[in-house]
Structure 1
Amino acid sequence: MKLNIKLQNVFLEMVCFLYIILFTYAAISKLIDFENFQTQLGQSPLLSAYAASISFLVIFAELGLVVALSLRVSRIKALYLSVGLMTVFTTYIILILNFSSFIPCSCGGILEKLGWNEHLIFNLFFIFIGSCSLLLHQYDKKGIISLLLIVVSSVLFVVFLFLSSEDTMKKQNPFIRRFTPNVASRTLTKNLNNYGFYFVGHSKGNIYLGNTISPLTIIEFDSTLQHKKQYSIQLTPDTLPFRAVKTKILGAHFFLYDGSIPIIYRGLVSDWKATIWVTKKPYFTTLQPIDSTLCVFRGQQLGTYENILGTIALDDSLKIRKQKHLLQKQIDGIFDTDGTLTYSEGLKKIVYTYFYRNQFIVADTALQLVHHVTTIDTTTRAKLKVVRVKKSGDSKLAAPPYTVNLRSAAFNELLFNQSGLRGRYESKKNWDHASIIDVYDITNKIYLFSFYIYHENKMKMSDLLITEKALYAIVGHQIVKYTFGTPMLTQLKK
């Protein structure tokens, strides 16, 4: 009997010693590369929202247990807690393996080199020897219940963190991005041999580009970027004093416009001939075709020069409607309401994304507000310094603007937004070499995930176009295709 007790004590001390070695090594590894540890937690699909607090809590718990396991007076209680902590880690791995589309590791040291199945076995081994030593020490009803309570509460704790983190990331995101792998992969690139290109649109599987230097020239590519055609738009009349000509395609029609004249031409993609559709009014800065007889525009209110949205409809007669209160003024109503106007054909909804605040507007084609959606950054109010020039009465920016959203494009229920800000736990190296696209569910008002569009020859992305299977980007003098993977295709099919 005395021998059995002695063996039990030796086994207990050996288990405690193994736990001490494990937690000491794990904690020191995390401390040595703490920034990387915290970043990996931030990219975790389960615990992103709590990365900051958990990163400190885990290290504190591991070091605290090392001390407690070293003292005879607290060894048994510390061993119960050690089994609980290993149960927390194990539950996390099980959730990662079964409920996550990607699997980051944040263990540090040689443990980071283990595969996830090996890691799971490793953790289960420590739970097993810890539980055995505790039950050998106190094999009665109280000991069994205590062990079960520790294990069950540890599992429930991780499940609670997982569920609450998911809700926080989607609806109350503290500017932590989720870079899900295989969202989009760079598959094709084509040299355009010039600058000034922008996307006109897409139709029947083809991609169309315009050029600010040669505004009547249209370039067509097929989806493989291998077959190229060039067209010249024929205008009737073509003698107007154009200043800022742009073209957009919607279905079988194209619209060529210059809001400073103002004038809008309309024609068919089949022959690239256009005649005047609307002229003389209204003046506008941005135009978005909705169908062959309806366009949405952004213009300025007479007298105040504040930005407003409106519609131009021409079927039997010309109808111009202005919505003065859809864009919400914060500072001057001019710079602070500047943004990107895009349209989702699948939803039949207009999306207006502010440049300088964390919000985009969703409206129907009659410009009736559907809802506002908050982007994941925290800039609720535009950070602009606006001054008015007394001599001319013009408003100007007195300092470089703090740009939150650079450009966006809508497709079906998704908004693809190029962010101007680096989020928490993100690598500066990646930020310096790529543009970030944040993807939002327009209908459900939630953030989904993010991915990178990498610079080409140190040139940044200047425009983007979304189709049902890919994102096309103009980067410098190249057009680059990013083919969507399963996570994105699943969202697009909804």
Structure 2
Amino acid sequence: MKLRPQLNNSLIQIASYLYVLLFVYASVSKILDFENFQVQLGQSPLLSAFAGFLAYAVVVGELGISCLLVIPELRMSGLYLSVALMAMFTTYIIIILNFSSFIPCSCGGVLEHLGWREHLIFNLVFIVFGVVAIVLSGIDKTKTVLLICTLVAAPSIIGLLYLRSEEIMSQENPFIRRFQMFALSERQSTDLENSSFYFAGSDDGQIYLGNHSAPLHIIAFDPGLKEKKHYTITLDNDKYPFRSAEIRIAAPYFYLYDGLIPIVYKGRIGEWKAETVYQGNHYFTKGIAVDSLRFAIRGQKPQTGEHILGKLGVGDTPNITYAPDLLEKQIDGIFDTDGTFCYSEGLKRFVYTYHYRNQFIVSDKDLSLLYRGHTIDTTTKARLKVVHLKKSGDTKLAAPPYMVNRNTTLYNNLLFVNSELIGRFEERSVREYAKVIDVYDILSNQYKFSFYLYGNDKYKPKEFIATKHGFYSIINQELNHYNYGKPTLKSMVNNTK
């Protein structure tokens, strides 16, 4: 009879010291690489919004519980808390396995090398150790209720944190990105032989590249980049001194325009002969073909030079209609309203994304405002130092601008934004060879996820475009094709072109 209490006490001590060994080892590993631990926890799809607090709470909690376990008078409290903490960790892993496609391990030390299912088994074994130790200490009604409450409350807390984190990330994002490793998968690449190419667009069968150095030269690739064809566009009138001519594909037509002259040519894909469809007095710096007779443009107000969006009718009866309230002035109406202009053919929607603030504008095909969305960074006002030169009357920047959103592309409901800003819990070193792409759903006005678009040893990606055939990037002289991964396909609507 005397041996049983001693055996029970020994088993309780063994379980307690196993917990101490586990928690001290895990917490010290986290402390030694705390920045990386914060980064990994911050990129979790479950608890991102609370990463800053939880990173400290987990370490302090593990060390605090270890102290309780080595003090005989406080050991039982330590065992209950140990079971609760392991139940929280286990619930976290269960949610990871069922609701997440990828998450880096953030436990530290040797445990980083365990797979998630192995980690789940490991945690369950330690929960059993803790429960057995509590039972061996002498179970009664009070202890039974307390143990049941512990096993129910701990997972519930993680579940509530998860739900609240999801709400914060979708509605009140505190600039924490959720990186998806499998957003894209690289498939093919090819050498372009020079670095002056840009994306002109795509149709059902090919990807088209224009050339800044040779405005009438165009290359057509099949979607897999296995075949390419060179074409030269002929114009019905080529007397104009082009300053910034660009080609845009809007199947079955192509357009060549230079808004600084201003002139618009139109031709049929395959024939590559272009006729003048607009030659007038409406200058513009950006243009998107809506259909065979209409262009959406970004021009400037004659009196002030401020940017303004409008619709340019081409053909026999040229006309222009402005949407004066779409772009919102903050400083000068010129630099502070600069941005990118995209069109979703499937949804018939335009998106204008500001370069220097965290806002994009979504409108219908007639440039009627649908809503103003926000990117996940916190730059609500453009940070620009603008000066007006009295002698020349020019407006210029007196200091380098604070770039927020550099490039964008739009396919179906997904807006892909190249952000220049570093979010919370992100590694700066990755920016040396990769660009961050944030993905937004313009139908639900929600941030979806982010991914890294990698370059090579010397260059970052220069341009990118999302199409029916996949995602493409230009890295110096290299054209790359990526398939859409599961997270991207899952977020993309299927009823559009």
For residues 3-152 of structure 1, what are the structure 2 equivalents within 5 Å? 3-152=3-152
- The residue type paired with residue 94 of structure 1 is I
Does structure 2 conserve the Cα–Cα contact (< 8 Å) formed by 1:362 and 1:372? Answer: yes
Query: Hey, what does 1:471 align to over in structure 2?
Result: 471
Q: CA deviation at 1:492?
A: 2.2
Q: CA deviation at 1:316?
A: 6.0
- The residue type paired with residue 341 of structure 1 is F
Does structure 2 conserve the Cα–Cα contact (< 8 Å) formed by 1:245 and 1:257? Answer: yes
For residues 177-216 of structure 1, what are the structure 2 equivalents within 5 Å? 177-216=177-216
Query: Is 1:453 paired with 2:456?
Result: no
Does structure 2 conserve the Cα–Cα contact (< 8 Å) formed by 1:362 and 1:369? Answer: yes
Q: CA deviation at 1:457?
A: 4.4
Tell me the distance in 1 between the aligned counterparts of 2:321 and 2:370.
18
Q: Deviations over 1:54-96 (max 9, x none)?
A: 1100000001111111222221112111110010001111111
Question: Which stretch of the first structure deviates more once superposed, 454-463 or 119-128?
Answer: 454-463
Query: Is 1:317 paired with 2:317?
Result: yes
Tell me the distance in 1 between the aligned counterparts of 2:130 and 2:461.
54
Tell me the distance in 2 between the aligned counterparts of 1:26 and 1:442.
42
- The residue type paired with residue 277 of structure 2 is W
- The residue type paired with residue 70 of structure 2 is S
Tell me the distance in 1 between the aligned counterparts of 2:40 and 2:279.
56
For residues 247-262 of structure 1, what are the structure 2 equivalents within 5 Å? 247-262=247-262
Question: Which stretch of the first structure deviates more once superposed, 170-179 or 239-248?
Answer: 170-179
Question: Which stretch of the first structure deviates more once superposed, 409-418 or 117-126?
Answer: 117-126
Query: Hey, what does 1:277 align to over in structure 2?
Result: 277
Does structure 1 conserve the Cα–Cα contact (< 8 Å) formed by 2:413 and 2:493? Answer: no
Query: Hey, what does 1:362 align to over in structure 2?
Result: 362
Does structure 2 conserve the Cα–Cα contact (< 8 Å) formed by 1:456 and 1:476? Answer: no
Does structure 2 conserve the Cα–Cα contact (< 8 Å) formed by 1:352 and 1:360? Answer: yes
Query: Hey, what does 1:327 align to over in structure 2?
Result: 327
Q: Deviations over 1:401-459 (max 9, x none)?
A: 11111110110000011111122222222111111111110111111111222123412
Does structure 2 conserve the Cα–Cα contact (< 8 Å) formed by 1:80 and 1:147? Answer: yes
Does structure 1 conserve the Cα–Cα contact (< 8 Å) formed by 2:29 and 2:108? Answer: yes
Question: Which stretch of the first structure deviates more once superposed, 313-322 or 348-357?
Answer: 313-322
Does structure 2 conserve the Cα–Cα contact (< 8 Å) formed by 1:222 and 1:228? Answer: yes
> How many pairs are equivalent?
494
Does structure 2 conserve the Cα–Cα contact (< 8 Å) formed by 1:305 and 1:334? Answer: yes
C-alpha change, 1:207 and 1:363, in structure 2 (3 Å) is same
- The residue type paired with residue 199 of structure 2 is F
Q: Deviations over 1:132-186 (max 9, x none)?
A: 1112223111111101111111111111111111222222222221121221122
Tell me the distance in 2 between the aligned counterparts of 1:458 and 1:446.
34
Does structure 1 conserve the Cα–Cα contact (< 8 Å) formed by 2:358 and 2:378? Answer: yes
Tell me the distance in 2 between the aligned counterparts of 1:242 and 1:119.
63
Q: Tell me, what secondary structure is at the counterpart of 2:464?
A: strand
Query: Hey, what does 1:440 align to over in structure 2?
Result: 440
Does structure 1 conserve the Cα–Cα contact (< 8 Å) formed by 2:433 and 2:459? Answer: no
C-alpha change, 1:369 and 1:264, in structure 2 (3 Å) is same
Query: Is 1:408 paired with 2:408?
Result: yes
Query: Is 1:428 paired with 2:428?
Result: yes
Question: Which stretch of the first structure deviates more once superposed, 7-16 or 79-88?
Answer: 7-16
Tell me the distance in 1 between the aligned counterparts of 2:464 and 2:309.
23
For residues 321-400 of structure 1, what are the structure 2 equivalents within 5 Å? 321-400=321-400
Q: TM-score, normalised by structure 1?
A: 0.97
Q: CA deviation at 1:241?
A: 2.4
Q: CA deviation at 1:287?
A: 0.4
- Structure 2 unaligned regions, length at least 5: none
Question: Which stretch of the first structure deviates more once superposed, 257-266 or 462-471?
Answer: 462-471
Q: Deviations over 1:20-67 (max 9, x none)?
A: 111111100111111111111112121112111111000000011111
- Structure 1 unaligned regions, length at least 5: none
For residues 147-186 of structure 1, what are the structure 2 equivalents within 5 Å? 147-186=147-186
Tell me the distance in 2 between the aligned counterparts of 1:338 and 1:130.
61
Tell me the distance in 2 between the aligned counterparts of 1:270 and 1:37.
55
Q: CA deviation at 1:398?
A: 0.6
Q: CA deviation at 1:315?
A: 5.9
Tell me the distance in 1 between the aligned counterparts of 2:451 and 2:307.
32
- The residue type paired with residue 342 of structure 1 is C
Tell me the distance in 2 between the aligned counterparts of 1:319 and 1:455.
43
Does structure 1 conserve the Cα–Cα contact (< 8 Å) formed by 2:204 and 2:468? Answer: no
Q: CA deviation at 1:7?
A: 2.1
Tell me the distance in 1 between the aligned counterparts of 2:397 and 2:120.
57
Does structure 1 conserve the Cα–Cα contact (< 8 Å) formed by 2:189 and 2:479? Answer: yes
- The residue type paired with residue 445 of structure 2 is K
Does structure 1 conserve the Cα–Cα contact (< 8 Å) formed by 2:194 and 2:477? Answer: yes
Question: Which stretch of the first structure deviates more once superposed, 82-91 or 119-128?
Answer: 119-128
Does structure 2 conserve the Cα–Cα contact (< 8 Å) formed by 1:310 and 1:367? Answer: yes
Tell me the distance in 2 between the aligned counterparts of 1:482 and 1:425.
27
Q: TM-score, normalised by structure 2?
A: 0.97
Does structure 1 conserve the Cα–Cα contact (< 8 Å) formed by 2:295 and 2:314? Answer: no
Q: CA deviation at 1:469?
A: 3.7
Query: Hey, what does 2:297 align to over in structure 1?
Result: 297
Tell me the distance in 1 between the aligned counterparts of 2:242 and 2:27.
66
- The residue type paired with residue 166 of structure 2 is E
- The residue type paired with residue 449 of structure 1 is F
Q: Deviations over 1:466-488 (max 9, x none)?
A: 11241111111111112212221
Does structure 2 conserve the Cα–Cα contact (< 8 Å) formed by 1:469 and 1:489? Answer: no
Tell me the distance in 1 between the aligned counterparts of 2:396 and 2:151.
63
C-alpha change, 1:120 and 1:457, in structure 2 (3 Å) is closer
- The residue type paired with residue 304 of structure 2 is T
Does structure 1 conserve the Cα–Cα contact (< 8 Å) formed by 2:277 and 2:315? Answer: no
Tell me the distance in 1 between the aligned counterparts of 2:237 and 2:315.
21
Does structure 2 conserve the Cα–Cα contact (< 8 Å) formed by 1:297 and 1:312? Answer: yes
Tell me the distance in 1 between the aligned counterparts of 2:281 and 2:186.
43
- The residue type paired with residue 293 of structure 1 is L
Tell me the distance in 2 between the aligned counterparts of 1:290 and 1:138.
77
Does structure 1 conserve the Cα–Cα contact (< 8 Å) formed by 2:205 and 2:222? Answer: yes
Tell me the distance in 2 between the aligned counterparts of 1:486 and 1:2.
62
